[in-house]
Structure 1
């Protein structure tokens, strides 16, 4: 079963090309956000990950969104889903 899942993911368009965001979680104040991407790790010449490894990873980064237009965050065609967030009482903290 694991092998069939690997082949399904390998052929999925989400894993072709540059990493694509799977989540953007705005921080309090909407000046920064945590961006999460799903990555396909490099493989050897065989094209498959080493035994015992999936070849997949999830990575997150803190990004500056202060210069972004509000409409950019709501673009549903990009495949990014914004999470609802509750405002924290402390500014500058991620929620």
Structure 2
């Protein structure tokens, strides 16, 4: 799973994507959105709240297998603008 940022009407929105399988035409993995965190500034605030009280972490994310370690990685990615693999993330706050 990985984070993606989409821009709409001048605002940046953060989504969690997962690979669902392969597309035959492109022979590449197909990524689908599995969760929306909302606007990037509000998303960072929400992520930090979940860090402080992991009991309030959304059930859909827990069912997808997301852990507190994933949450911490997402926070670092949104704050720094760099993913754990070193790629640039344009949704940084």
**TM norm structure 2:** 0.32
Over alpha carbons, which structure has the higher Rg? 1
Give the structure-1-normalised TM-score: 0.31
Q: Relative contact order (C-alpha < 8 Å, sep 6+): which is higher?
A: 1
